[in-house]
Structure 1
Amino acid sequence: MHGLDNIVGLIAVVVATSVVARRIGVLSPILLVIVGIGISFIPGLLEVELDPEVVLVGILPPILYVAALETSMPAFKFNLRPILLLAVGLVLFTAAAVGFTLHMLLPGVPLAACFALGAVVAPPDAVAATAVARRIGLPRRVVTVLEGESLINDASALVTLRVAVAAAVGQAVDGWSIAWQASVAVIGGIAIGVAGGIVVGFVHKRIGNPLIDNAVSLLTPWVVFLPAEALGASGVVSVVVCGLSLGHRMPTLMSAASRLQMDAFWRMVKFLLEGAVFLLVGLQLRGIVAHVERSFAFTAGALAAVVGAVLLTRIAWVFATTYLSRLVPGGRRRDSGLPLAIPAVISWAGMRGAVTLAAALSLPETLAGGDFYPRGLFVILAFGVIVATLVLQGATLPAVARRLKVPADDVKEDALAEASVQHEASRAGKARLEELAGDAPDGVIERLRQLALSRSNMAWERLGRAEVETPSAAYARLRREMLIAEREVFRKARDTGRIPEETLRQAQREMDLEESLLERGDL
């Protein structure tokens, strides 16, 4: 299978596997990797060789961009300290720990090359951890920290990898050059991301057409990523900064139609890209195994050592930074009373993904001076870390969270805050209505007043008992049944020639929009 056949095959397997994963209650990233491994040993079926550039340039930017769009900037800023400790500090700590561990097993391999593998396996995946966190209902702050970590850690890992590879191939690397590269990557990425957010926001404000808005949104990740990489800055940082900026200002940048269409568009793109990434990871196994130069026993021992270093460094780092930070002014105030279950579950949410494999495949073929360098072993170790962390941590994280009794967010408190804000919003809406009512018919004014009152009442109803059907829930249930009957009348009228197809489509669209509001609880 080649070209278009492979693309269609990938999409078909992603969709089918995701459906099965939902049915049997398994996380789709885990099942996709397992399915990919199985398919890799079937000759002639989905033989796809993963190009590192496809992941690092083609897939990573849009995945990070949509994740940044959905991340709360105020929450991100509030949790910036723990995010940076994980995304930068832990990446460096893991790279060093894995590098020294591997160097002890392979003393003939230059330490810089071992550090390169450490940088490869250091960053947790941007998809897996947050997918698990949201599914098992972890507290909002934990989800924000894990999302923030996954948004930034790829940048710090790739910069570390770049420095380690440069040293391994014989380029002169010192403290000043490392500091310079890091500064250019971070500061340049931030500057380009901010500039991109300003320019793209300006464009969105002046478009007003949902289709063009979506096209601009699709191009945005690469519009900031490619120039940043060309200038030596971090494309990952630029995409994240641009996405955070645009996501924070989205309510004022686009029309309602553009936002609705963009939300549906990005959800589909995200689903397909994330699924394809994990499937591609699994599909690489046969090709990777074929290039391993060491014995099975040595490879298994090295893998166990590297996986152990990856797991233990995260646990040690999370607990140390959580509780030792209380000695720093301001740390005790923010994290006082933090239950032990929170750092425990964060320390166990370190699943690796496609970026790790792509980074491993981008390792140089040879080192300067002909130094011993088992590249095939390094790639299989990276692959093993991905599978081990996905299966070991991904499959057990829900049970760990339940066993530790991780405290969930207070639903009553959230509902009370929502009801309070909705009440203020309804008052503001009614005030604007009175200002602009003018000569509008009395029936229209009264209907709008009732709609504002209904929105406010629905928010307060959520504070009531869950087992009792609220008036809003009863309204939604009955209205859905009415819409089913109305659709059937329009369909029969189209079939008998009483109305044209265009009339059916318009009526169908209006009813679909109303039903989507019912599902969200907005009507």
Structure 2
Amino acid sequence: MSQAAMAQVLAVSVVAIAVAAVARRRGWSAPLLLVLAGLALSPLVPAYELDPEIVLLVFLPPLLYSAAIDSSYLGLKAVRRPVALLSVGLVLFSTLVIGLVVHLLLPELHPAAAFALGAIVAPPDAVAAVAVARRLGLPRKVVTILVGESLFNDATALTAYRVAVAAAVGHGVTWPGALGQFAYAAAGGAVIGLALAWLLTRILAALRDSLVENTVMLLIPFGTYLAAEAVHASGVVSVVVVGLVVGHRMPRSEFGTRLLSGALWRVVDLFLESVVFALIGLQMWPIVSALDWSDPWRPVGAALAVFAAAVAARIAWVVPATHLPRLLSRRVRRNEPEPPPWQNVAIVGWAGMRGVVSLAAAFALPDLPGRDMLLFLTFTVVIGTLLVQGMSFPWLIRRLRVSTEQETFADDLAEAAAQQAAASAALDRLDELVAGGVADVHQEVVEQLRLRAERRALTAWERLGGGTGPEGEETPGAVYRRLRREMLAAEREVFVRLRDERRIDDEVLRRVLHELDSEEATLARD
């Protein structure tokens, strides 16, 4: 890479981080502000065409992995039916609808190229979904469905894209061959992901060094993606599977590993997401300037029609996909006695923001007739969904009066009960240690440890209007630290067990583990 190219990358990164910092301080949506900044700067800076290899090999794996380790494996398992209907069914349905619209509007394009565009713009983006949904405080089940959809739908879309491109360039493609390629990519990616997850979790457990473990974890998404793609399986599925397994087992790792991992991936996410959304906006000028504008209504009309088709296809799929399984399956009605609130269905139907993966796939198109038009249509769908749907999302949520108060109360209640059980386990462990003959244990130290365990449970009950805990004490000596670590280990085991038994959610588990880890880190520094 030349010095000029390096300077350009550095400048984009600096501007992106600065814009993201302003958005975070003001409480604005960073992705939307970054896209707008990129659009405004696009005519003023040297043209930069997005390199699809950089997006698919450098940006996508770590962002997918970070979203996966922060997701709940058990939560995704509970919503696997709607996630599958969205990440597979909706992507294929959108590909067909959009491809048909493009074929009717632009008959001069090869039909396979039209359906390739459908596959390009069909999947909502994982980065956009996580960035927007969590900031708005949506109900956890809705967030889990949106995140799960965006984690897996790229695999469906990229496989359909490869099949359509192969047909467009004249390679023989049959329906059985296309279905076989899709099945192999998905199943192969899952198998490779599970095998690597089994190996990597054991390697990480054997390292017992927080810094080394997190350094290895930085390499995991890239190595996993390349390993799957090397055998033509889905690198996206492999990365997501590994991330879900590693994230599920993270509570059993060392406290330092979790604390460092949380900070590390927050930094990685902020940097990569900022650069990605800025790059989306910066693509405007090279894409628009490459197009023939002798008849401006033709590209503009086609762009509006494709954008409308992308939005309408999602709504047309989400509503029946939500209710038809309940009507057709007694098992679904038994497992889900109450239908989902219509407000949640409306939110999922409107949450279709596209992102940088669609642009990367478009730039990876071979030199087909009409390639510039396909790039322009992709760009307008990405920008249109990010701005129109992204900017209207907060208004929609306020209008629908979606609230998480009941969910928050249930979390607080579950946490208080779990804290009580964990405190009992810690006190039992303390009694065992004292009865076993710990040398030079003063009664004052034992009482301090006992009060500290009880205080954690009382603090959780206070959120529900309960009693108050005792006054805080000063940090005790070496015996206190050793015994307290044993108690923390006992509490942690209880929380993990209750999570595995589905008595508390992963969100609650992460919250309480952060408190335990922070305390243990303080003890280790003394």
Normalising by structure 2, report the TM-score: 0.86
Deviation at 1:69, TM superposition (A): 0.2
Q: Does residue 167 of structure 2 align to residue 170 of structure 1?
A: no
**Equivalent in the alignment of 2:20:** 18
2:431 to 423, 431, 434: 434
* Contact in 1 for aligned 2:228/2:238 (Cα 8 Å): yes
Structure 1 segment 18-417 matched on structure 2, within 5 A: 18-44=20-46, 47-252=47-252, 254-294=253-293, 295-329=295-329, 330-333=331-334, 334=336, 336-366=338-368, 373-408=369-404, 410=406, 411-417=408-414
**Equivalent in the alignment of 1:453:** 454
2:8 to 6, 9, 19: 6
- Runs of 4+ aligned residues of structure 1 deviating over 4 Å after TM superposition are 470-476, 513-518
Q: Which amino acid is 1:257 matched to? A: G
Deviation at 1:331, TM superposition (A): 2.6
* Contact in 2 for aligned 1:142/1:342 (Cα 8 Å): yes
Deviation at 1:130, TM superposition (A): 2.4
**Equivalent in the alignment of 2:422:** 425
**Equivalent in the alignment of 1:495:** none
**CA distance in structure 2 between the aligned counterparts of 1:337 and 1:62, rounded to whole angstroms:** 36
Q: Deviations over 1:374-395 (max 9, x none)?
A: 1001101111111111111101
Q: Residues 182 and 515 (structure 1 numbering): CA distance in 2 closer, same or farther, change over 3 Å?
A: closer
**CA distance in structure 1 between the aligned counterparts of 2:227 and 2:433, rounded to whole angstroms:** 47
* Contact in 2 for aligned 1:139/1:409 (Cα 8 Å): no
Deviation at 1:82, TM superposition (A): 0.2
After superposition, the CA RMSD in angstroms is 2.4
Deviation at 1:49, TM superposition (A): 2.9
Secondary structure in 2 aligned to 1:41? Answer: helix
Deviation at 1:209, TM superposition (A): 1.3
Deviation at 1:424, TM superposition (A): 0.6
Q: Which amino acid is 1:153 matched to? A: N
**CA distance in structure 2 between the aligned counterparts of 1:13 and 1:471, rounded to whole angstroms:** 48
Q: Which amino acid is 2:197 matched to? A: G
Q: How many residues align?
A: 473
**CA distance in structure 2 between the aligned counterparts of 1:407 and 1:17, rounded to whole angstroms:** 30
Among all aligned residue pairs of Structure 1 and Structure 2, give the percentage whose two residues are the same amino acid. Answer: 45
Q: Which amino acid is 2:401 matched to? A: K
Q: Residues 175 and 26 (structure 1 numbering): CA distance in 2 closer, same or farther, change over 3 Å?
A: same
Q: Which amino acid is 1:32 matched to? A: L
Q: Deviations over 1:145-184 (max 9, x none)?
A: 0000010011100001001101111111112211211111
| Unmatched 5+ stretches in structure 1 | 367-372, 480-512
Secondary structure in 2 aligned to 1:206? Answer: helix
Q: Residues 179 and 265 (structure 1 numbering): CA distance in 2 closer, same or farther, change over 3 Å?
A: same
Q: Deviations over 1:449-506 (max 9, x none)?
A: 11110111011011129xxxx8579979x99xxxxxxxxxxxxxxxxxxxxxxxxxxx
Deviates more, 1:126-135 or 1:454-463: 126-135
| Unmatched 5+ stretches in structure 2 | 476-513
* Contact in 1 for aligned 2:75/2:144 (Cα 8 Å): yes
**Equivalent in the alignment of 1:490:** none
